[in-house]
Amino acid sequence: MPASPLPTNPAGDDRNPVVVEGTYVPTFGDKLNEFWEKNSKAVIALCVLILMGVLAKGLWEYMSRQKELDIEKAYAAVTTSEQLKTFSAAHPQHSLGGIAQLRLADEAYTAGKFTEAITGYDAAFSVLKGSPLAARVQLGRSLAKIQSGKVAEGSTELKQLLDDANQLRAIRAEAGYHLASLAGEALDSAQVQKISEQLLQIDPSSLWTQRALTLRMTQLAESAPTAAPVPAAKPADAAPGVQLNLPGK
Protein backbone atom coordinates (compact mmCIF):
# COMPACT_ATOMS: atom_id res chain seq x y z
CA MET A 1 0.00 0.00 0.00
CA PRO A 2 1.28 3.54 -0.67
CA ALA A 3 2.49 5.56 2.31
CA SER A 4 0.05 8.07 3.74
CA PRO A 5 0.80 11.54 2.36
CA LEU A 6 1.98 14.25 4.83
CA PRO A 7 -0.66 16.84 5.64
CA THR A 8 -0.17 20.15 3.95
CA ASN A 9 -0.46 23.54 5.69
CA PRO A 10 -3.55 25.53 4.87
CA ALA A 11 -3.11 28.87 3.19
CA GLY A 12 -1.77 31.55 5.56
CA ASP A 13 -0.57 29.02 8.17
CA ASP A 14 3.22 29.15 8.41
CA ARG A 15 3.48 26.70 11.28
CA ASN A 16 5.61 23.67 10.74
CA PRO A 17 3.81 20.80 12.36
CA VAL A 18 5.78 17.72 13.12
CA VAL A 19 4.21 14.37 12.56
CA VAL A 20 5.42 11.53 14.70
CA GLU A 21 3.83 8.21 13.93
CA GLY A 22 0.71 9.96 12.74
CA THR A 23 0.42 12.21 15.92
CA TYR A 24 0.52 16.04 15.69
CA VAL A 25 3.02 17.69 18.11
CA PRO A 26 2.52 21.48 18.58
CA THR A 27 5.61 23.65 18.32
CA PHE A 28 6.76 26.32 20.83
CA GLY A 29 5.11 28.96 18.66
CA ASP A 30 1.83 27.07 18.84
CA LYS A 31 2.02 26.93 22.63
CA LEU A 32 2.90 30.63 22.86
CA ASN A 33 -0.02 31.58 20.65
CA GLU A 34 -2.34 29.45 22.70
CA PHE A 35 -1.11 31.00 25.96
CA TRP A 36 -1.56 34.52 24.55
CA GLU A 37 -5.10 33.76 23.36
CA LYS A 38 -6.05 32.57 26.84
CA ASN A 39 -4.16 35.11 28.99
CA SER A 40 -3.62 38.20 26.86
CA LYS A 41 -6.07 40.32 28.85
CA ALA A 42 -4.49 39.36 32.18
CA VAL A 43 -0.97 40.04 30.87
CA ILE A 44 -2.00 43.45 29.52
CA ALA A 45 -3.70 44.32 32.82
CA LEU A 46 -0.58 43.31 34.76
CA CYS A 47 1.65 45.44 32.53
CA VAL A 48 -0.67 48.40 33.02
CA LEU A 49 -0.56 47.95 36.81
CA ILE A 50 3.25 47.78 36.79
CA LEU A 51 3.46 50.90 34.64
CA MET A 52 1.05 52.74 36.94
CA GLY A 53 3.12 51.68 39.97
CA VAL A 54 6.33 52.99 38.39
CA LEU A 55 4.66 56.28 37.50
CA ALA A 56 3.14 56.60 40.99
CA LYS A 57 6.51 55.92 42.63
CA GLY A 58 8.21 58.51 40.45
CA LEU A 59 5.48 61.07 41.21
CA TRP A 60 5.74 60.38 44.96
CA GLU A 61 9.52 60.80 44.93
CA TYR A 62 9.17 64.04 42.98
CA MET A 63 6.59 65.43 45.39
CA SER A 64 8.66 64.35 48.40
CA ARG A 65 11.74 66.04 47.00
CA GLN A 66 9.79 69.21 46.31
CA LYS A 67 8.45 69.17 49.86
CA GLU A 68 11.98 68.67 51.21
CA LEU A 69 13.21 71.63 49.16
CA ASP A 70 10.38 73.78 50.51
CA ILE A 71 11.32 72.86 54.11
CA GLU A 72 14.99 73.61 53.45
CA LYS A 73 14.10 77.00 51.96
CA ALA A 74 11.86 77.80 54.93
CA TYR A 75 14.66 76.93 57.37
CA ALA A 76 17.19 78.99 55.44
CA ALA A 77 14.88 82.00 55.79
CA VAL A 78 14.74 81.75 59.60
CA THR A 79 16.58 84.63 61.29
CA THR A 80 14.88 85.21 64.67
CA SER A 81 14.00 83.18 67.74
CA GLU A 82 10.29 83.53 67.04
CA GLN A 83 10.79 82.19 63.55
CA LEU A 84 12.74 79.25 64.98
CA LYS A 85 9.83 78.47 67.29
CA THR A 86 7.34 78.68 64.42
CA PHE A 87 9.49 76.48 62.20
CA SER A 88 10.10 73.82 64.85
CA ALA A 89 6.37 73.72 65.66
CA ALA A 90 5.55 73.27 61.97
CA HIS A 91 8.14 70.49 61.47
CA PRO A 92 8.49 68.79 64.88
CA GLN A 93 9.77 65.45 63.52
CA HIS A 94 11.98 66.79 60.74
CA SER A 95 15.74 66.89 61.29
CA LEU A 96 15.77 70.62 60.58
CA GLY A 97 13.04 71.02 63.18
CA GLY A 98 15.35 69.26 65.63
CA ILE A 99 18.18 71.62 64.72
CA ALA A 100 15.85 74.56 65.29
CA GLN A 101 15.11 73.16 68.77
CA LEU A 102 18.84 72.85 69.41
CA ARG A 103 19.41 76.48 68.48
CA LEU A 104 16.59 77.58 70.77
CA ALA A 105 18.04 75.52 73.63
CA ASP A 106 21.46 77.11 73.08
CA GLU A 107 19.88 80.56 73.19
CA ALA A 108 18.12 79.71 76.45
CA TYR A 109 21.40 78.43 77.93
CA THR A 110 23.22 81.62 76.93
CA ALA A 111 20.45 83.66 78.53
CA GLY A 112 20.80 81.71 81.80
CA LYS A 113 17.40 80.00 81.39
CA PHE A 114 18.75 76.58 82.19
CA THR A 115 15.46 74.80 82.89
CA GLU A 116 14.10 76.01 79.56
CA ALA A 117 17.35 74.95 77.90
CA ILE A 118 17.02 71.41 79.29
CA THR A 119 13.50 71.15 77.87
CA GLY A 120 14.77 72.35 74.49
CA TYR A 121 17.66 69.92 74.46
CA ASP A 122 15.30 67.05 75.30
CA ALA A 123 13.03 68.01 72.40
CA ALA A 124 16.00 68.25 70.05
CA PHE A 125 17.41 64.91 71.16
CA SER A 126 14.12 63.11 70.48
CA VAL A 127 14.49 64.12 66.82
CA LEU A 128 18.27 64.06 66.37
CA LYS A 129 19.16 60.88 68.27
CA GLY A 130 21.18 58.62 66.02
CA SER A 131 22.50 61.59 64.03
CA PRO A 132 25.95 63.21 64.33
CA LEU A 133 24.36 66.07 66.29
CA ALA A 134 23.02 63.81 69.06
CA ALA A 135 26.25 64.07 71.10
CA ARG A 136 26.24 67.84 70.71
CA VAL A 137 22.72 67.91 72.16
CA GLN A 138 23.76 65.66 75.04
CA LEU A 139 26.72 67.89 75.83
CA GLY A 140 24.55 71.00 76.00
CA ARG A 141 21.96 69.24 78.13
CA SER A 142 24.62 68.01 80.57
CA LEU A 143 25.99 71.52 81.07
CA ALA A 144 22.50 72.95 81.46
CA LYS A 145 21.75 70.40 84.17
CA ILE A 146 24.95 71.31 86.01
CA GLN A 147 24.12 75.00 85.80
CA SER A 148 20.58 74.35 87.06
CA GLY A 149 21.91 72.59 90.17
CA LYS A 150 21.72 68.98 88.97
CA VAL A 151 25.49 68.60 89.24
CA ALA A 152 25.60 64.85 89.86
CA GLU A 153 23.25 64.05 86.97
CA GLY A 154 25.03 66.38 84.56
CA SER A 155 28.47 65.09 85.59
CA THR A 156 27.37 61.49 84.99
CA GLU A 157 26.29 62.38 81.46
CA LEU A 158 29.59 64.18 80.81
CA LYS A 159 31.50 61.13 82.04
CA GLN A 160 29.53 58.93 79.63
CA LEU A 161 30.50 61.17 76.72
CA LEU A 162 34.14 61.26 77.82
CA ASP A 163 34.41 57.47 78.05
CA ASP A 164 32.48 56.70 74.83
CA ALA A 165 35.09 55.68 72.25
CA ASN A 166 32.48 55.95 69.48
CA GLN A 167 32.01 59.68 70.00
CA LEU A 168 33.91 62.39 68.16
CA ARG A 169 37.18 63.34 69.84
CA ALA A 170 36.12 66.99 70.00
CA ILE A 171 32.99 66.08 71.99
CA ARG A 172 34.93 63.81 74.34
CA ALA A 173 37.62 66.43 74.89
CA GLU A 174 35.12 69.17 75.72
CA ALA A 175 33.21 66.89 78.09
CA GLY A 176 36.49 65.97 79.79
CA TYR A 177 37.51 69.59 80.24
CA HIS A 178 34.22 70.48 81.91
CA LEU A 179 34.65 67.53 84.27
CA ALA A 180 38.18 68.65 85.07
CA SER A 181 36.88 72.16 85.72
CA LEU A 182 34.32 70.80 88.18
CA ALA A 183 37.06 68.81 89.89
CA GLY A 184 39.19 71.95 90.07
CA GLU A 185 36.38 73.86 91.75
CA ALA A 186 36.16 71.04 94.28
CA LEU A 187 39.95 71.28 94.82
CA ASP A 188 40.31 67.67 93.68
CA SER A 189 43.73 67.91 92.06
CA ALA A 190 44.02 64.13 91.72
CA GLN A 191 40.87 64.03 89.59
CA VAL A 192 42.07 66.96 87.49
CA GLN A 193 45.33 65.10 86.83
CA LYS A 194 43.50 61.87 85.96
CA ILE A 195 41.19 63.57 83.46
CA SER A 196 44.06 65.52 81.93
CA GLU A 197 45.99 62.33 81.29
CA GLN A 198 42.92 60.75 79.73
CA LEU A 199 42.49 63.75 77.42
CA LEU A 200 46.11 63.47 76.35
CA GLN A 201 45.32 59.96 75.16
CA ILE A 202 42.17 61.07 73.34
CA ASP A 203 43.33 64.24 71.56
CA PRO A 204 46.55 65.90 72.73
CA SER A 205 46.22 68.75 70.22
CA SER A 206 42.70 69.74 71.26
CA LEU A 207 42.17 73.19 72.74
CA TRP A 208 40.11 71.56 75.49
CA THR A 209 43.02 69.28 76.36
CA GLN A 210 45.36 72.25 76.54
CA ARG A 211 42.95 74.07 78.82
CA ALA A 212 42.71 71.01 81.06
CA LEU A 213 46.51 70.87 81.27
CA THR A 214 46.63 74.54 82.17
CA LEU A 215 44.09 73.90 84.91
CA ARG A 216 46.21 70.99 86.13
CA MET A 217 49.32 73.17 86.36
CA THR A 218 47.37 75.82 88.24
CA GLN A 219 46.13 73.20 90.69
CA LEU A 220 49.65 71.91 91.26
CA ALA A 221 50.98 75.43 91.81
CA GLU A 222 48.27 76.24 94.32
CA SER A 223 48.74 72.98 96.22
CA ALA A 224 52.55 73.33 96.45
CA PRO A 225 53.79 74.20 100.02
CA THR A 226 54.86 77.80 100.51
CA ALA A 227 58.60 78.21 101.22
CA ALA A 228 59.57 79.74 104.59
CA PRO A 229 60.80 83.35 104.31
CA VAL A 230 64.58 83.85 104.51
CA PRO A 231 65.54 86.12 107.48
CA ALA A 232 67.10 89.41 106.49
CA ALA A 233 70.84 89.88 107.15
CA LYS A 234 71.80 92.11 110.07
CA PRO A 235 73.45 95.45 109.29
CA ALA A 236 77.23 95.53 109.39
CA ASP A 237 77.38 97.92 112.35
CA ALA A 238 75.21 95.58 114.35
CA ALA A 239 77.50 92.64 113.85
CA PRO A 240 79.60 91.64 116.95
CA GLY A 241 83.19 92.94 116.96
CA VAL A 242 86.13 90.68 116.50
CA GLN A 243 88.94 91.18 119.08
CA LEU A 244 92.49 90.20 118.36
CA ASN A 245 94.80 89.18 121.19
CA LEU A 246 98.07 90.93 120.42
CA PRO A 247 101.34 89.90 122.19
CA GLY A 248 102.30 92.03 125.18
CA LYS A 249 98.81 93.23 125.76
- pLDDT average, residue stretch 114-125: 96
Q: Which residue has the higher pLDDT, 166 or 47?
A: 166
Q: How far apart are CA 155 and CA 55, in angstroms?
A: 54
Q: What percent of the chain has pLDDT over 70?
A: 78
Report the pLDDT value the prediction gives residue 249, as an integer from 0 to 100.
Answer: 38
Q: How far apart are CA 124 and CA 94, in angstroms?
A: 10
Q: Which residues contact 138 (CB under 8 A, 6 or more apart)?
A: 121, 125, 157, 161
Digit-coded pLDDT (tens) for 131-147: 989 999 999 999 999 99
CB 179 within 8 A of CB 213: no
CB 45 within 8 A of CB 51: no
Highest-pLDDT range among 38-42, 108-112, 237-241? 108-112
Report the pLDDT value the prediction gives residue 248, as an integer from 0 to 100.
Answer: 39
pLDDT over 50 at 32, yes or no: yes
pLDDT over 70 at 224, yes or no: no
Stretch among 54-63, 152-161, 193-202 having the lowest mean pLDDT:
54-63
Task: Give 176's pLDDT tier (boundaries 50, 70, 90).
Answer: very high
- pLDDT average, residue stretch 115-119: 96
Is 79-149 assigned to CATH 1.10.1660?
A: no
pLDDT over 80 at 245, yes or no: no
Report the pLDDT value the prediction gives residue 52, as an integer from 0 to 100.
Answer: 78
Mean pLDDT for all residues in the chain: 82
CB 174 within 8 A of CB 207: no
- pLDDT average, residue stretch 8-12: 55
pLDDT over 80 at 170, yes or no: yes
Q: How far apart are CA 173 and CA 239, in angstroms?
A: 62
pLDDT over 80 at 67, yes or no: no
pLDDT over 60 at 232, yes or no: no
Q: Which residue has the higher pLDDT, 241 or 212?
A: 212
CB 120 within 8 A of CB 100: no
**Residue boundaries of the structural domains of the chain:** 30-72, 79-149, 150-222
